[in-house]
Structure 1
Amino acid sequence: MDAMDQDKTALPRLATTPKTLGNLWRVKVGLMAALVHGVGIYGFFDAYQWGHGSSYTISALVHVLLMLDSLPDVLYLQLDNCPGQNKNRFVLGFLAYLIEAGVFKKVKLSFLMVGHTHEDIDQIFSRLSVWLSREDVFTISSLIKCFESCSRKSNITGISQTVLTKKKRVCITVDFCKISFYMLKELKKT
């Protein structure tokens, strides 16, 4: 799981920006993506209507797990070496809770070494960046379509956090306790 540089996903995004619009104020759009090897890529888009700390990381992880048909015994998770979002007591505590709740027998968490921060998902971000350099994008919906079309190698699913909130009837920025008690009961091994 990783987040894309927000400057590259700010809207509107024009393939060729006229000089008169060079200083145009643009809406920041966040993209958090998760690569599930052998299954696909899931991208979560939002217009920064909520914080992007550890709650956001945990929420995206839970939503990816809920979308999978079955869960393995061991969760292998690779995160960026970012203490604010990933490398903190909340994410570690949540992963420990997944084991305690019986969702997984083991969780193997790895962080990239400092200075070597290119994960597998960064290749998709690169493809999206190239795609966006040729497209005029004005809405989050069209940004999601670009994300889903940027690579033919994987099954890519873009999800607007607002739509996901309506479908799952949960708040994306829930605290640790609400996530563990409300959403984890939906996680079942098949």
Structure 2
Amino acid sequence: MWLVVGLGNPGPTYAHTRHNVGYLVVEELARRAHARLSSVPKMRADVAETRISSVGLGIPGPGSQRLALVRPHTYMNESGIPVGKLAAYYDIPPTRIIAIHDELDLDMGQLRLKCGGGDNGHNGLKSMRAHLHTGDFNRVRVGIGRPPGRQAPADFVLSAFPSGQRDAVAVEVARAADAVETIIVDGLGPAQNRYNS
């Protein structure tokens, strides 16, 4: 089984901000699987269980694998709480967890897939590392670029994507969702070869 976690902040105030790109990718995966993200208060998250195989997401084909799509109810700096609870509940090791998050150090249009590493100042990753007691989980890093001029990074990530970038954001969300599927079906190495830019 796999745990696929989209990092973000809950509530309508943050819905279309750069920091919530992980939420957008999980929502896209749920849409593809025809699965509904349902609130699980005990886990402090929205969760949708589905299957994936080489035939596709939500389609139980040969060698299909189970996965849980997760959208935490907690704010970014407490993301590790629901992730830790769900990993324990499903008995999922960190190497079968995929965290999808925004990345300031990558330009818009760039993806990077990796397993392990530090948190690079990202509070969601920091919380996950603390609650999983390791950083050895998979990451899908979605580039959002650096803030313009002297805008503070915190203000930049909590601001909405400009309307002129909406189509580009949709393309990147779809590519990140494709990358998640590839990690699970084909493995991290092939996924890196295909999507790391």
Q: TM-score, normalised by structure 1?
A: 0.32
| Higher helix fraction (1 or 2) | 2
What's the TM-score, normalizing by structure 2?
A: 0.32
More strand by percentage: 2
